[in-house]
Homo-oligomer: A and B are copies of this chain.
Amino acid sequence: MTIHYPNGARFSPSQQPNKKLKLTTYGGRGMTLEQELNESNQYYLANDVAVIHKKPTPIQIVKVDYPKRSAAVIREAYFRQASTTDYNGIYRGRYIDFDAKETQETTRFPLDNFHKHQIEHMRSCLKQGGICFGLVKFVKLDQLYLLKATDLISYWDHQDTGRKSIPLKVFDDIALPIHYRLNPIIPYLDAVDHLI
C-alpha cells in the first residue's frame, strides 16, 4: 500500500527522519570518511597524541590569473593521480602511513579501490620500518576496519591467479575492527597500538 503525506507527496521509507537519526547516532553524523578522519586527526593533534595529516589533492596547474589587488586565481587545472597514500605522520615515534577507502559493497572489498602507486608506496615504507595500513569502510554496513598493509599486499599480489576482492569474512578474521566513538570519532590509533 502506498502511503501519501497530506500534501499528496508519496511517503518513502528511505526519507524517514529516523534514518538520518541513525546516521547521527552511529559515528559519522553524515560526514564522509575523509571528514571523519580529518576531525579525528585534529583531535589527536590537539591532544598531543599524534601528528597525522591528509595530503592535499595533487593538482596540475595550467593557467593562473593575477588580478590587481586580489588573490591569484587558478583558471585551468587538472586533477593528478597521487603517487603516495593520502595520510601520513608520526605517532609514538613511529612513521604512520595509510589510505582510507569506502566501499558500497556489502560482502567484499574490491582491490581496484587501491591504485598500483599506493601499493608500491606502502611496500617502500614497510621496507623502511613504517607502519602501513588501509582503513576500509563498508558504508552500507557502517563497519570500519584497519587492514595491515602486509595483508593487503598479499591479496594484491595474488590478483592474477586469485580473487580480485577481499571477502568481508576475511576482514572479520584478520583485520582490526574500529568502532565509532565521540572523541575521536574514529579511534584508529587504538588499532595501531596492536601493530606496534
In the bound assembly, the distance between CA atoms of A83 and B38 in angstroms comes to 13
Interface residues on A, range: 35 or more
Among A84-121, those with CB < 8 Å from B are 84, 88-95, 97, 121
Chain B, residue nearest A93 (CB): B129
CB distance from A44 to the nearest CB of B (A): 10
Shortest CB distance A133–B (Å): 14
- Cα-based distance from A48 to B50 in the complex (angstroms): 26
Give bound CA distance, A97 to B77, whole Å. 28
The complex places the Cα of A88 from the Cα of B90 at a distance, in Å, of 10
> With a CB–CB cut-off of 8 A, which chain B residues contact A20?
none
User: Chain B residues near A55 (CB, 8 Å)?
Assistant: 55-56
Chain B residues lying within 8 Å of A92, measured Cβ to Cβ, are: 128-129
CB distance from A132 to the nearest CB of B (A): 10
Q: Are B51 and A121 in contact (CB under 8 A)?
A: yes
Give A residues with C-beta under 8 Å from B: 45, 48, 50-51, 53, 55-59, 71-79, 82-84, 88-95, 97, 121, 124-125, 127-130
Q: With contacts A74-B74, A75-B76, A91-B128 known, what are 6 further pairs, Cβ within 8 A?
A: A50-B128, A51-B130, A74-B76, A75-B75, A88-B88, A90-B95
